[in-house]
Structure 1
Amino acid sequence: MNRAPDRRPHPWFAGHPPRVLAHRGLVTDSDASHGVVENSFAAVAAANAAGALYVESDCHLTADGVVVLFHDDDLSRVTGDPRKVADVSSRELGDLMADRGGLITLAQALEAFPTVRFNLDVKAPAAAEPVGRLVAAHGARVLLTSFSDARRRAALRAASRAGTQPPATSAGTATIARLLLSVAVGARGWTRRILRDVDAVQVPERRGAIRIVSRRMLAAAHRNGVEVHVWTVNDEADMRRLLALGVDGIVTDRADVALRTIATG
Structure 2
Amino acid sequence: MAATTGTAARSVWAETGALVRGSWTLVRHGGARLAGLILGTQLIILVVALPVFGWLFREALRANGMHGLDLGNLRLGSGIPLTLALIALIVVLAFWLIAVQFTALVVLLRWSEDGITGRQFARELGRVARKLLRPSSLPLVGYLFVLVPLTGFGFTSALVRGVAIPQFISGELLKTVTGGIIYIVFLLVLAFVNVRLAATVPVFVLTDATGHQSMRASWRMTRGIRRFMSLIFAGFVVFVCGALVSFALTVVAIVPTALTDALAPDASVVVAAYSLGVAQVAGFLITGGMTAAIAGILITRVRTAQSGGDAVPPERPRADETAVGRQTRRAWLGVGAAALVVALGVGTASIATFDTLSRAPKTLVLAHRGFTEGGVENTLSGLDAAHAAGADLVEMDVMQTKDGEFIAMHDATLGRLADRPDAVKDLTLDELTRITVRDLQGHSDTIPAFRDYVRHAEEIGMPLLIEIKLGGADTEDHVERLIAELEELGSLDQHIYHSLDPASVATLKRLRPDLTVGYTMAFAGGDIPDTPADFIVVEEWTATEDMQAAAARAGLGFMVWTVNEVPSMREHLRRSTDGIISDRPDLALAARAEMQQESGLVDVLGDALTRFVKIP
Q: Do both proteins adopt the same fold according to a TM-score greater than 0.5, normalized to the shorter chain?
A: yes
Distance 1:122 1:39, change over 3 A: same
Alignment of 1:139 with 2:492, yes or no, is yes
Quick one: distance in 2 between partners of 1:101 and 1:260?
Answer: 28
How many aligned positions are there? 221
Aligned with residue 118 of structure 1, among 455, 464, 475 = 464
Quick one: distance in 2 between partners of 1:25 and 1:142?
Answer: 15
Q: Which has a greater percent of strand? A: 1
TM-score, normalised via structure 1 length: 0.74
Distance 1:254 1:173, change over 3 A: closer
Amino acid in the other structure paired with 2:384: A
TM-score, normalised via structure 2 length: 0.34
Distance 1:78 1:149, change over 3 A: same
Unaligned runs of 5+ in 2: 1-360, 439-443, 596-616
Alignment of 1:228 with 2:558, yes or no, is yes
Distance 1:213 1:71, change over 3 A: same
Distance 1:132 1:82, change over 3 A: same
Quick one: distance in 2 between partners of 1:102 and 1:139?
Answer: 24
**What per-residue deviation string (whole Å, max 9, x for no partner) do you get for residues 26-53 of structure 1?**
021xx4xxxx421111101111122112
Partner in structure 1 of residue 41 of structure 2: none
Question: Displacement of 1:84 after TM fit?
Answer: 0.9
CA contact (8 A) 1:132 1:157 kept: no
By relative contact order (CA 8 Å, sep 6+), the higher-ranking structure is 1
Quick one: distance in 2 between partners of 1:111 and 1:242?
Answer: 31
Distance 1:157 1:104, change over 3 A: farther
Alignment of 1:250 with 2:580, yes or no, is yes
Partner in structure 1 of residue 514 of structure 2: 166
Question: Displacement of 1:75 after TM fit?
Answer: 0.8
CA contact (8 A) 1:26 1:255 kept: yes
Question: Displacement of 1:23 after TM fit?
Answer: 0.3
Alignment of 1:214 with 2:544, yes or no, is yes
Question: Displacement of 1:98 after TM fit?
Answer: 6.8
Distance 1:139 1:167, change over 3 A: farther
Amino acid in the other structure paired with 1:205: E
Matches within 5 A, 1:102-113: 102-113=446-457
Alignment of 1:65 with 2:404, yes or no, is yes
What SS is found at the alignment partner of 2:398?
Answer: strand
Partner in structure 2 of residue 203 of structure 1: 538
Unaligned runs of 5+ in 1: 1-15, 184-190, 207-211
CA contact (8 A) 2:433 2:449 kept: no
CA contact (8 A) 2:418 2:437 kept: no
Amino acid in the other structure paired with 2:425: A
Quick one: distance in 2 between partners of 1:129 and 1:169?
Answer: 15
Distance 1:135 1:156, change over 3 A: farther
Question: Displacement of 1:110 after TM fit?
Answer: 2.0
Quick one: distance in 1 between partners of 2:509 and 2:452?
Answer: 20
Aligned with residue 362 of structure 2, among 7, 13, 17 = 17
**What per-residue deviation string (whole Å, max 9, x for no partner) do you get for residues 141-180 of structure 1?**
322221111022334455x3xxxx8321112449x85xx4
Distance 1:151 1:43, change over 3 A: same
Quick one: distance in 1 between partners of 2:520 and 2:457?
Answer: 26
Amino acid in the other structure paired with 1:104: P
What SS is found at the alignment partner of 2:537?
Answer: strand
Partner in structure 1 of residue 436 of structure 2: 97
Question: Displacement of 1:239 after TM fit?
Answer: 0.4
**What per-residue deviation string (whole Å, max 9, x for no partner) do you get for residues 83-141 of structure 1?**
11111122222221277223222211222222222111111243433222223443333
Partner in structure 2 of residue 3 of structure 1: none
Deviates more, 1:130-139 or 1:222-231: 130-139
Partner in structure 1 of residue 266 of structure 2: none
**Rg larger in 1 or in 2?**
2
Quick one: distance in 2 between partners of 1:46 and 1:253?
Answer: 12
Quick one: distance in 2 between partners of 1:97 and 1:157?
Answer: 37
Distance 1:166 1:86, change over 3 A: farther
Distance 1:76 1:156, change over 3 A: farther
What SS is found at the alignment partner of 1:17?
Answer: coil
CA contact (8 A) 2:393 2:465 kept: yes
Quick one: distance in 2 between partners of 1:173 and 1:52?
Answer: 23
Partner in structure 2 of residue 56 of structure 1: 395
Quick one: distance in 1 between partners of 2:421 and 2:445?
Answer: 19
Deviates more, 1:52-61 or 1:111-120: 111-120
CA contact (8 A) 2:537 2:561 kept: yes
Q: Which has a greater percent of helix? A: 2
CA contact (8 A) 1:218 1:246 kept: no
CA contact (8 A) 2:558 2:579 kept: yes
Quick one: distance in 2 between partners of 1:38 and 1:170?
Answer: 21
